[in-house]
Amino acid sequence: MDSKKFSMFFGDVPVFTIPGRTFPVDVLWSKTPCEDYVDSAVKQILSIHVTQGEGDILVFMTGQEDIETTCATVEERIKQLGSSAPPLTLLPIYSQLPSDMQAKIFEKADKGSRKCIIATNIAETSLTVDGILYVIDTGYCKLKVYNPRVGMDSLQVTPISKANANQRSGRAGRTGPGRCYRLYTESAYKHELMDNNIPEIQRTNLSNVVLNLKSMGIENLLDFDFMDPPPQDNILNSMYQLWVLGALDDSGKITELGQKMAEFPLDPPLSKMVIIGEKLGCADDIVTVVSMLSIPSVFYRPKGAEEESDASREKFFVPESDHLTLLHIYQQWKINQFSSQWCAEHFIHVKAMRKVREIRGQLLDIMKQHHMKIESCGSNWDLIRKAITSSYFHHSAKIKGIGEYVNMRNGMPCFLHPTSALYGLGYAPDYIVYHELVMTSKEYMQVVTAVDAQWLAEMGPMFFSIKKSLKDKKRKLDKIEDKIEDINEKDKDKDENDNQKEILENPIKKIGNKLLSTSTSVVTSSNNSNSTNKSKEKTTSNNPRKTKRFGL
pLDDT for residue 480: 62
Q: Are the beta carbons of 153 and 144 closer than 8 angstroms?
A: yes
Residue 157 lies in a domain: yes
Give the 3-state secondary structure of residue 17.
coil
Domain assignment present for residue 502? The answer is: yes
Domain assignment present for residue 182? The answer is yes
For residue 103, being part of any structural domain is answered with yes
**64 in any annotated domain:** yes
pLDDT in tens, 407-438: 998 889 999 998 999 997 777 899 999 999 88
Q: Does any domain span residue 452?
A: no
Q: What CATH code is carried by the domain that includes residue 90? A: 3.40.50.300
Sequential DSSP letters for 455-469? HHHHH-TTTEEEEE-
Which of 180, 198, 216 is the last residue before a domain boundary?
Answer: 198
State how many domains the chain has.
2
- The pLDDT, as a whole number, for residue 484 is 59
Q: Which of 156, 177, 198 is the last residue of a domain?
A: 198
Report the pLDDT value the prediction gives residue 329, as an integer from 0 to 100: 97
Is residue 348 one of the residues assigned to a domain?
Answer: no
Question: Is 151 a member of any domain?
Answer: yes
pLDDT for the residue 472: 58
Q: What is the pLDDT of residue 477?
A: 60
The strand ranges marked E within 94-248 are: 114-119, 132-137, 140-147, 152-159, 178-182
- Which among 140, 165, 198 is the end of a domain? 198
374-381 LR contacts (CB < 8 Å, sep 24+): 374/278, 374/283, 374/284, 374/287, 375/278, 375/281, 375/282, 375/283, 375/284, 376/282, 376/284, 376/285, 377/280, 377/281, 377/282, 377/285, 380/282, 381/318, 381/321, 381/324
User: So what's the pLDDT on residue 523?
Assistant: 27
C-alpha neighbours within 13 Å on the C-beta side of residue 443: 15
- Classify burial at 28, counting beta carbons within 10 Å of its beta carbon; exposed 0-12, middle 13-18, buried 19 or more: exposed
The pTM (predicted TM-score) of the whole model is 0.78
pLDDT, position 302: 83
Each residue's pLDDT, cut to its tens digit, for the chain (552 residues) gives 778 888 888 988 999 988 777 789 999 999 999 989 999 999 999 999 999 988 999 999 999 899 999 999 999 999 988 877 889 999 999 888 888 888 889 988 888 889 999 999 888 876 778 889 999 999 999 988 888 877 778 888 999 999 999 999 988 988 889 999 999 999 999 999 999 888 999 998 999 999 999 999 998 898 899 999 999 888 999 999 999 999 999 999 999 999 999 999 999 999 999 999 999 999 999 999 999 999 988 998 887 888 999 999 999 999 889 999 999 999 999 999 999 999 999 999 999 999 999 999 999 999 999 999 999 999 999 999 999 999 999 999 999 877 789 999 888 999 999 899 999 777 789 999 999 988 887 889 999 999 999 999 999 888 888 776 555 555 666 666 665 555 555 555 555 445 444 433 443 333 333 333 333 222 222 333 333 343 334 444 444 333 333 333
Look at residue 535 in the predicted model and tell me its pLDDT: 39
- Identify the domain containing residue 27 by its residue range: 22-198
